[in-house]
Amino acid sequence: MVQIALIQNDLYSRLGIVPSKSILVTGSTGVGKSHLINAVLSSARIQSFRVNALSLALWLYKMDQLGNSITDDTMCPLRKAINRARSSSPAVVILEDLHIVSDDLAGVEVDFGLCISRISSEIKRMADDSCVIATCRETEKLPVAFKRRGPDAIFQTQIMLEVPSSSTRKSIAKELLTAASYLLDSSDPSIANLKGDAVHQYSHRIAEVTPGFVARDIKNLITRASAHARLRRMNDTNLENITEQLQELKLSSSNNFPPLSWSQDFLKVLNCINASQAVDTGFDMSKTDLKWENIGGYEKVKSKLKTLVINPFENPQAYQRLKVKPPSGILLYGPSGCGKTLLAKTLGSNSPMNFISVNGNKIFSKYLGESEATVRRIFELARKLAPCIIFFDEIDILGVRREWSEDGASGVNERVLSTLLNEMDGVAEQKGVIVIGSTNRPEKLDDALLRPGRLDQHIYVPMPSHEDRAAILDSLLSRITSNVDVTRVANVTDGLSPADLVVLIREAKYLLMRGNDPDLAVLEWKHIAAALSGALKGPLTEAFV
């Protein structure tokens, strides 16, 4: 487009088409906007002149502070860049970080109307063999004038760079790894079962475990994995000849780089890296070290969660072949303390999908419209990070049945519920985002939230059975020295929830530590019995579920 518009613009003239003199390229940080522009201009051998939107905003601010006494427009940063482009045509002016020109530019009181007008007038001054390419990170914060489309729009062409798909991430990783293919450890058991050479194997694995990652994140992953490999080799060195081995690890001597291992390097650093758009979002996106084997009991619930959430991600071909649509929403419901939140977070921690955890109480704001905006931001972030799980803890706070709303709050509740329903409808139409909600008050949920395409899969998390209690107790006691018969404890703890069992074992440990050496003490039945005598056993039933 740029090459034809600038170098072969006579083609446009013959066809009666006005060449585009302004292009807006949008996309998340690190997605590759600058890299794409540089590659296009380099291949077409077109000069470029850069100006940052911040420098333009600050120049206008300075003009305002001086009472508009600066009348020499040639000092305007954008004007200077355009003049240089006109004298060096064909050339391109790159206006970087246009999202800065928004109403939330903190600390700088700029007349944004003047800023928009200035950019518009300067673009109109562009010669036929030059154009402006602007880059922007967050289009939703741009003034409406910049987002307007049509022949009279400020930016005649708008290009959106999406977060890379799995196949695109694989291509990016393959390009980055090709130059260092000799460093990849093809004998690593984690990749040995994959077809192709080491570059293909590693790029395939990287694409699998990096949903939501952009090009910069993938490059960062490979760089940090390389650094980890060098540190790992240094930790294995013999102190007697440390000087010689450090000499071998100099970055200049690439032949002495240690081999990169998937399990020892990539997986180690992967836990320390988040996708760029996941940083500073204000939402909990952390993944813990929770494992399925650490959760005792509830095997049917765990199996169903894996089937509904992980299977469609790992085997999409089967769903496409059978024309089965993966679920877009799951409701976990049951009595308090039965591990609904723990199950959801363990699912997120053991899934290759991204995970956003939201507490219903944190959504509401005292500012008008802010609660609805928060819901929209959550789903927008999930779509960028797809495949992604959104977990709403205590979803009954957001999806309360409309007739249950208290006077004075019903307006906010209904607006939030309406926004949530609209966003969930969007999830149902798209792929890669699944919503999980948990509640111990399912009767308070609005019926619209439970319709097909929304939270249409319902999983009951009951009070633990005798078998579940024994498995939970076995998991809790496996971390300490004990000679307690878990079956005996399970026999006398009917009516206790998993949370109650955790408290029971904790109290037994407190009793054990009194007057004993913690390193030598062994937990026995007498400690459990003493702790149990003070435990509260409430008659919890399914009646309210």
Residue 222: name the closest of 194, 196, 199 by CA.
199
Flag the least confident range among 279-283, 370-374, 449-453: 279-283
Token pair 């949903």: residue = 211
Residues 456 and 506 in one domain: no
pLDDT in tens, 517-531: 556 678 888 888 888
**pLDDT higher than 90, residue 472:** yes
Residues 147 and 176 in one domain: no
544 inside domain? no
Residue 538 pLDDT: 47
Q: Is 301 helix (H, G, I), strand (E, B) or coil?
A: helix
Whether the pTM exceeds 0.85: the reply is: no
What is the average per-residue pLDDT within 426-451?
87
Residue 542 pLDDT: 41
Domain count for the chain, please give it: 4
Residue 518 pLDDT: 59
pLDDT range class, residue 468, cuts 50, 70, 90: very high
pLDDT in tens, 235-255: 765 545 545 555 555 544 445
326 inside domain? yes
Residue 543 pLDDT: 38
Residue 183 pLDDT: 84
Residues 171 and 47 in one domain: no
Q: Which two tokens stand for residue 192?
A: 């040995």
For 294, residues 6+ apart whose C-beta sits below 8 A from its C-beta are: 346, 475
Q: Could you give the dihedral angle defined by the CA atoms of residues 161, 162, 163 and 164, in that order, rounded to the nearest 10 degrees?
A: -90
508 inside domain? yes
Residue 282 pLDDT: 67
Beta-ladder partners of 331: 437, 458
Report percent pLDDT > 70 for the chain: 83
Residue 538: name the closest of 484, 500, 481 by CA.
500
pLDDT in tens, 192-210: 778 888 899 999 989 888 8
392 inside domain? yes
Residue 252 pLDDT: 42
Q: How many CA atoms lie within 13 A of 358 on its CB side?
A: 29
Residue 172, CA distances (Å) to 52, 151, 216, 459, 488 in order: 27, 35, 10, 39, 57
388 inside domain? yes
Residues 456 and 531 in one domain: no
CA distance 258 to 235: 12
Residue 541 pLDDT: 43
**pLDDT higher than 60, residue 479:** yes
Flag the least confident range among 94-98, 122-126, 443-447: 122-126
pLDDT range class, residue 2, cuts 50, 70, 90: low
Residues 302 and 370 in one domain: yes
Residue 3 pLDDT: 57
Residue 50 pLDDT: 93
CATH code (residue 213): 1.10.8
Residues 392 and 487 in one domain: no
Token pair 């992604």: residue = 388
Residue 387 pLDDT: 85
H-helix segments, 335-465? 340-349, 370-384, 410-429
Q: Is 95 helix (H, G, I), strand (E, B) or coil?
A: strand
Residues 383 and 499 in one domain: no
Higher-scoring residue by pLDDT: 543, 418:
418
315 inside domain? yes
Residue 409 carries which DSSP code?
A: T
pLDDT in tens, 116-150: 888 888 888 777 778 899 999 877 778 888 888 87
- Parallel/antiparallel/unpaired status of strands 388-393 and 354-359: parallel
For 481, residues 6+ apart whose C-beta sits below 8 A from its C-beta are: 521, 522, 523
Q: Residue 270 burial (CB < 10 Å; 0-12/13-18/19+)?
A: middle
What is the average per-residue pLDDT within 340-365?
89
Q: Which two tokens stand for residue 129?
A: 């063999």
Domain closes at, from 280, 311, 338:
280
Beta-ladder partners of 439: 333
Residues 417 and 492 in one domain: no
**pLDDT higher than 90, residue 330:** yes
CA distance 304 to 308: 6
CATH code (residue 470): 1.10.8.60
Interhelix angle 525-533/498-513, nearest 10 degrees = 120
Q: Is 186 helix (H, G, I), strand (E, B) or coil?
A: coil
CA distance 93 to 81: 6
Residues 356/391, Cβ–Cβ less than 8 Å: yes
Residue 446, CA distances (Å) to 233, 336, 545 in order: 58, 20, 15
Q: Is 98 helix (H, G, I), strand (E, B) or coil?
A: helix
Residue 408 pLDDT: 47
pLDDT in tens, 15-39: 555 567 889 999 888 889 999 999 9
Q: Phi, psi (5° rounding) for residue 96? A: -90, 150
Residue 352, preceding peptide bond in cis (omega within 30° of 0) = no
Residues 9 and 147 in one domain: yes
| Region at 322 (left for phi over 0; alpha for psi -120 to 50; beta for the rest) | alpha
242 inside domain? no
Residues 431 and 446 in one domain: yes
Strands (E), 373-514: 388-393, 433-439, 457-460
* Per-chain mean pLDDT for the chain: 82
Residues 328 and 424 in one domain: yes
Residue 257 pLDDT: 65
pLDDT range class, residue 396, cuts 50, 70, 90: very high
376 inside domain? yes
pLDDT in tens, 50-82: 999 888 888 877 777 776 555 567 778 888 898
Residue 62 pLDDT: 79
Range(s) of the domain holding residue 305: 292-460
Residues 179 and 153 in one domain: no
What is the average per-residue pLDDT within 474-497?
89
pLDDT in tens, 273-288: 877 766 656 677 777 7
